Amino acid sequence: MTPTLELTLHVPEALHDRLISGLEDFGFEAFLQETDRLKGYLPASQWSADRRARLAEWLRARGVETRREERIVEPEDWNRQWERSIRPLPVGPFLVRPTWTETPPEDAEKIPLLIDPKMSFGTGYHESTRLILRLLPDLIRGGERVLDAGAGTGILAIAAVKLGAAEALAFDVDAWTVENAAENFHLNAVADRITFRLGSIEVIPETGFDLILANINRNVLLDLFPAFAGKVRAGGHVVLAGLLRTDRARMLEAAAPLGLTLHREAEEGAWWSVVFKK
C-alpha cells in the first residue's frame, strides 16, 4: 500500500459540490466534507509541482481564494480517519454501514450493505452514490446481468446483486480497489456472483448487459459512453452518476446519437443522476 496525499481547502460547505467535481478532474478520488473544510485524496505518486500549480490557477479562475494545506497520509492513518467519520446510513431500501458499527434498531428491516471503504470511493456518503442506490430498486426485477464501471468499493454491484441481479461484472482502474472490493464482496456474501477486473473498459469484452452502472465523473463518462451503448442490450439501462446538474444538457446531447433515451433522472443537492434506456 502506498501513501496518499491529503489536500485541505478551507472553504464553506456551500462550495464543496462544485469543487469536488473539479478536483476529480485533477485525479482526486475520495473526499471528506466538514463544515468549513474540504479534504481531497489521491495517490501521492500522482501529485506534482505542475499539478499543484494548475490546481491553484483553476481555483483562482473561479474566484476561490483559500488557504491550502497538504500532507502525506499513511494507509493506517487513512483507515482511522474513515473509522471516525463513517456511521450507518439508510439510503432507500438499504442500510450502508462499515463493519465496526452496529445496525440501528429502526433500520433492522433494511438491506445491509457492509462497506469498509479503505482507499476506494463509494461509501454511500456521497450524493452521487446515494442517487444510484435509490434508483436501483426500480431497475432490477431479478436475474439481470450487471456491469459496474469504476466500481470503487463495489457498493453498486453488491446492491444490485442483493436486489436480485443474477451476476455482476465490476472493473476499476485504481489498484486499491482490487483488495477493497474483494473484501466487501465477501463481507456481503456475494463473492460468488461478482467478478472484479483491474483496468478500464478494455478488460470487458462481454456485451449484452441488462444494466450498466457508472458513478465516475463527467469527462470519464463521456469517454466511456459509446462503449456503454455497445455493451448494453436493447431494452437495457445505463445509469450514470458523478454528474452535476449543470452537466445535464451535455449528457443528454451525447446520449442521443448512441441510441440511448432518457428514462428517469434524479437530483440531490448540486448532483444529478440519469437512467438511459437503449
pLDDT band at residue 276 under the 50/70/90 scheme: very high
CA 114, 209, 177, 39 torsion-angle sign: negative
Gap between the Cα atoms of 149 and 215, Å rounded: 7
Q: What is the DSSP letter of 110?
A: S
Position 82 scores a pLDDT of 57
Tell me which of 28-32, 138-142, 190-194, 219-223 is least confident.
28-32
Strand order in the sheet with 89-91: 89-91, 94-97, 111-114
Judge whether 243 and 221 are in contact, CB under 8 Å: yes
For 126-151, how does the pLDDT look when each residue is reduced to its tens digit (9 = 90+)?
788 999 999 999 999 999 999 999 99
Task: Compare 237 and 116 and report the one with higher pLDDT.
Answer: 237
Q: What is the mean pLDDT of residues 17-31?
A: 83
Q: What is the DSSP letter of 35?
A: T
In this structure, what are the phi and psi dihedrals at residue 78, rounded to the nearest 5 degrees?
-60, -50
Which residues lie across from 113 on neighbouring strands?
96
Which residue type, as a one-letter code, is found at position 225? F
Which residues lie across from 111 on neighbouring strands?
94
Q: What is the mean pLDDT of residues 31-46?
A: 84
In sequence order, the 6+-apart residues with CB closer than 8 A to the CB of 155 are 96, 113, 115, 122, 123, 124, 129, 133, 184
Residue tagged 448487459 (cell numbers): 209
- Per-chain mean pLDDT for the chain: 90
Domain range summary for the chain, segments of one domain joined by +: 4-83, 87-277
Q: Is CATH 1.10.1760 the right assignment for the domain spanning 4-83?
A: no
Position 79 scores a pLDDT of 58
For 50-91, how does the pLDDT look when each residue is reduced to its tens digit (9 = 90+)?
999 999 999 999 888 888 999 987 765 555 665 666 788 899
Gap between the Cα atoms of 238 and 228, Å rounded: 7
Neighbours of 213 (CB within 10 A): 28
Residue tagged 438491506 (cell numbers): 111
Gap between the Cα atoms of 192 and 70, Å rounded: 41
- At 163, list the grid cell: 436486489
Position 174 scores a pLDDT of 86
Position 108 scores a pLDDT of 95
DSSP assignments along 142-188, one per residue: SS-EEEEET-TTSHHHHHHHHHT-SEEEEEES-THHHHHHHHHHHHT
Asked if residue 121 has pLDDT above 60, the reply is: no
Judge whether 31 and 38 are in contact, CB under 8 Å: yes
Position 14 scores a pLDDT of 82
Q: What is the DSSP letter of 126?
A: S
CATH class of 87-277: alpha beta
Gap between the Cα atoms of 90 and 17, Å rounded: 21
Q: What pTM, to 2 d.p., does this model score?
A: 0.77
